[in-house]
Amino acid sequence: MADTVVSSHEVTAPVTVVLADDQALMRMGFRMVLEAQDGIEVVGEAADGASALAQARALRPDVILMDVRMPGMNGIEATEAITAQCPGTRVLILTTFDLDEYAFAGLRAGASGFLLKDTRPAELAEAVRTVASGEAVVSPRVTQRMLEMFASHLPQDGQEAVVQDERIAALTPREHEILVLMAQGMSNAEIAEHLVVSATTVKSHVGNVLAKLDVRDRVQAVVVAYETGLMA
């Protein structure tokens, strides 16, 4: 009797992606970039926000690359609906630099990342993988622009600000310091190097920050930092 051979290689499912952009050529370009990468599969396309939401419901992709300005339901509205209705799907917003005023709105709507459309192919693919893994991605340039723009996006509801200030006040001095560094766009590794501590220690502190702020990920924590005026 022949021996049964069992492969020791673990089969990893590809990261599934839906492309949402009202320009067909843009979708084609993103598809070509992503499908040239190992472990990424484009499973659908949408030309507007409503179609993106429908694709998210039907296909349950890992990631949706979301344009902001689309006819009908725009990318911000679609992001808010998708993150509410399809919790397993992460949204990565891509837009042109002259639309960076939408970065804050997109992140508040629940996006897990925000990149510019001129991002290099390798960086785009890495961002898709990062977001699919549950982490967050924000372009350093977008982070800088948010620092410059935060004042115009402070909450209008005074009570909301008070509640969020109380959440900030609950942080320890170290957690407060780490939140500021996160809001400056630093990764865990960069924070660890800056503070001369281990990456494991930073990860633990970041987890505590997210829990105390009652937010889903580090992007939402950064939003809170901007909203409360912490980055003034």
| pLDDT tens sequence across 17-66 | 999 999 999 999 999 999 999 899 999 999 999 999 999 999 999 999 99
Residues with Cβ within 8 Å of residue 130, at least 6 apart in sequence? 113, 136, 137
In the numeric block, which tokens belong to residue 107?
């992140």
To 10 degrees, what angle do helices 199-213 and 158-169 make? 140
Q: Sorting pLDDT into bands at 50, 70 and 90, what band is 95?
A: confident
So what CATH class is 154-227? mainly alpha
**Is the pLDDT confidence value at 176 over 70?**
yes
Polymer length of the chain: 232
CA distance 167 to 172: 11
- What mean pLDDT is predicted for residues 200-205? 92
* Phi and psi torsions of 66, nearest 5°: -115, 120
Higher pLDDT, 191 or 186: 191
Domain boundaries in the chain? 15-147, 154-227
Residues with Cβ within 8 Å of residue 23, at least 6 apart in sequence? 67
The strand pairing partners of 114, in sequence order, are 93, 138
Higher pLDDT, 144 or 217: 217
Residue 10: Cβ-neighbour burial (10 angstroms; 0-12, 13-18, 19+): exposed
What is the CATH T-level fold of the domain 15-147, as seen in this structure? Rossmann fold (3.40.50)
CA distance 62 to 86: 10
**Is the pLDDT confidence value at 1 over 70?**
no
pLDDT of residue 87: 86
* DSSP state for residue 150 in the 8-state scheme: G
